[in-house]
Amino acid sequence: MEISEYAVNFLVLAALLLYGVFSSRISSRMNMPILLLFLAAGIYLGSFTDIKFSMTDGPAVKFANIIGTVAMAFILYSGGLETNIRNVRRIALPGILLSTVGVFGTAALLSIAVHFLLGWSWMWSFMLGAVVSSTDAAAVFAILRSKGVSLQGDLASALEFESGSNDPMAALLTIFMVSFLSDPAEKPLWMFAIEFPVRMGVGIGCGFLIGWAGKWLFNRAKLDYEGLYFVLGIAIVIAAYGVTECIWGNGFMAAYCAGLTMGNTRYNYKKSQIRFNNGLAWLMQVAMFTVLGMLVTFNDLIAIPGKGLFNAVWVRGLLLAAALMFVARPLAVFLCLIKSKFNIRERLLISWVGLRGAAPIVLATFPLAAGLTGNAEKSENAVQLFNLVFCMVIASVIIQGRTLMPFARLLKLDSPLQDKARMPLELEDTGSLDSIMHEFEVDANSLCLEKTLAEIKIPHPARVMLIRREGKFIMPQGDTKILLNDGLLIMGDHGLLHKLAQSHFPGNDFLEN
């Protein structure tokens, strides 16, 4: 019986999806960052199977560019959706500086190393610097979670905000440099001083407006099938990017701000949307890393030209990665944080938590695609740039990823990560009930400690629905005694739970929107 080619492709797709689903487990067992597993799958498909992509194949590069752009929009939206604005406010100024001035400074400093090490022109050197100037939130926090630890103070919030908001800045720099190198007369360098505030401002404004419009639609639309709300969520992300780009704004910033807006407001089916977009972001990462990995071959990365070892892509990539990790990123971070509240140890850790991941590889496809339509020299430079960025990302993930938590422990900036069992009860807001459910942690300051439920007198009409204790759950009774480190799942309206947090659980920060 002849096996259909489509059947084989479906099996390959299923294998890739399963690979993506269980990648976190594989990564933890092998002590290897998740990003490398996705890239390895792509390199294998491109190098050792009949599925062929090529950096000299225009349609393949443009396809990879489209996949990367769409994936980045959804990943940034999901990141904004899970970012709490109250945590961001505490580190807003240093976070904004890191995601704007820090990105530009990193690109400029790295361009010096590129110019003198590789002999590239200043403009192409800055192009490479711009492409690798942003950090990757998914890579950073995947490693933090896999190690079972977290960071002290506002470090996690600062890194989360920087990683989510610096990709649009790097994208803007890259796209501007692509336009400049394509036609310097059409797009002179001084235009960046105008383009930056306009495109970022339009992106921020459109993102917040579309986010509020999305909230309104979720609350007002009475759809016949609940599954259509997920389709509505996808449409909001695509609209945020597409509409903003059509009116000369930064679509990536719009996607992030739309997610940030919707993540910090109340609307129907919010919890389902957060989970759905979290899974969708993972799917986008699987697709993006695999497709981008297929653009390079194993031979491209390890080949040593006849001119000597220094000309090998992986050697040059390692040297530039070292310049980025040990010089460009730390100098840019320290300059941005001179007046901040972060001490020297915290600044050192922020400098080191500069993992490069999805964004640089996606951005490297922009000059690659543009170079294919230009002359031979531009095409060759674009191919070299992509290969170098690919090697730099791999070096960054391996070196910084594996040393991140040991360095945090050395600086004494790590803290235990509380791995709580997920509550089996959840209340989904569908617009027909004003109540919400929130889990309150019982600590030494809680007034209910060592008292029974009958004694603490939870104000009416709030109800204790479930108690989490040592990884298990118990049904509450009037004579149930509350112990240290218990978790009380309480149902009530927002105002009542807010008062309850202040009166009975002063150690809790009630952040439910």
Q: Are residues 307 and 455 in the same domain?
A: no
pLDDT of residue 240: 96
Model pLDDT for residues 426-435, shown as the tens digit of each residue: 667 666 667 7
Query: What is the number of other CB atoms lying within 10 angstroms of the CB of residue 329?
Result: 27
Q: In angstroms, what CA-CA distances link 50 with 2, 13, 47, 53, 290? A: 18, 15, 8, 10, 15
Residue corresponding to tokens 């991140």: 404
Q: Is the pLDDT of residue 274 over 80?
A: yes
Q: Distance between CA atoms of 495 and 452, rounded to whole angstroms?
A: 24
* DSSP characters over 299-312: HHHH---TT-GGGS
pLDDT value, residue 333? 94
pLDDT at 365 over 70: yes
At residue 372, does pLDDT exceed 50? Answer: no
Alpha carbons 511 and 266: distance in angstroms, whole number: 12
Please check the confidence at residue 40 and state whether its pLDDT lies above 50: yes
CA-CA distance, 197 to 202, in Å (whole number)?
8
Q: How many other β-carbons are positioned within 10 Å of the β-carbon of residue 327?
A: 15
Confidence (pLDDT) at 305: 61
User: Do both 244 and 385 map to the same domain?
Assistant: yes
Terminus-to-terminus CA distance in the chain, angstroms?
58
Q: What per-residue confidence (pLDDT) applies to 200? A: 92
Angle made by CA atoms 138, 143, 146, in degrees to the nearest 5: 120
Residue 481 is classified by DSSP as B
Asked, for residue 352, whether it belongs to a domain, the answer is yes
Q: Is residue 131 classed exposed, middle or buried when 0-12, 13-18 and 19+ CB atoms within 10 A define those classes?
A: buried
Mean local confidence (pLDDT), 52-74 = 78
Same domain, 175 and 101: yes
Same domain, 357 and 449: no
Q: Averaged over 119-138, what is the pLDDT? A: 88
Give whole-number Cα distances, 163 to 48, 109, 135, 403, in Å.
Answer: 34, 19, 5, 19
Please give the pLDDT value at position 54: 62
Q: What are phi and psi of 115, to 5 degrees?
A: -60, -45
pLDDT at 444: 80
Helix 155-182 to helix 358-372 angle (10° resolution) is 0
- On the question of pLDDT at 29 being above 60, the answer is no
- Residue 29 inside a domain? The answer is no
* Count of domains for the chain: 2
For residue range 337-358, what is the model confidence (pLDDT) as tens digits?
998 888 899 999 999 988 887 7
pLDDT reading at 512 higher than 60: no
Q: Indicate whether 408 and 439 sit together in one domain.
A: no
Q: Which residues pair with 463 in a beta bridge?
A: 491
User: What is the residue type of 508?
Assistant: N
Residues 211 and 306 in one domain: yes
Q: CB atoms < 10 A from the CB of 492, how many?
A: 22
φ/ψ of residue 472, rounded to 5 = -120, 170
CA–CA dist 367, 423 (Å, integer): 47
DSSP 3-state of 169: helix
CATH number, domain with residue 440: 3.30.70.1450
Half-sphere exposure of 68 (CA within 13 A, CB side): 26
Point out the domain boundary residue: 361, 378, 413: 413
> Going by C-beta distance under 8 Å and a sequence separation of 6 or more, which residues neighbour residue 384?
313
The Cβ-side half-sphere exposure at 81, using a 13 Å CA radius, reads: 26
Residue 209 one-letter amino acid? L
- Cα 20 from Cα 289, distance rounded (Å): 10
Stretch (H or E) spanning 464: strand 463-469
Sign of CA dihedral 339, 340, 341, 347: negative
> What CATH number is attached to the domain comprising 248?
1.20.1530.20
Q: Please write the tens of the pLDDT for every residue from 196-240.
A: 899 999 999 999 999 999 999 998 888 888 889 999 999 999 999
Cβ atoms of 67 and 288 closer than 8 Å: yes
Buried b (16+ CB within 10 A) or exposed e, 147-180: bebbbeebbbbbbbbbbbbbbbbbbbbbbbbbbb
The verdict on 254 and 345 lying in the same domain is yes
Q: Is the pLDDT of residue 155 over 90?
A: no
In a domain, 38, yes or no: no
Question: DSSP state, 191?
Answer: G
Q: Are residues 409 and 441 in the same domain?
A: no
Domain assignment of residue 244, yes or no: yes
C-alpha torsion sign, points 181, 182, 183, 189: negative
Q: What is the pLDDT of residue 331?
A: 95
256 and 294 housed in the same domain: yes
Same domain, 393 and 494: no
DSSP-based three-state secondary structure for 256: helix
Most confident of 165-179, 279-293, 355-369: 165-179
127: Cβ contacts below 8 Å, ≥ 6 apart: 174, 177, 178, 181, 367, 385
DSSP result, 35-60: HHHHHHHHHHHHHHSS----TT-HHH
Structural domain that includes position 173: 55-413
Residue 266, helix vs strand vs coil:
coil
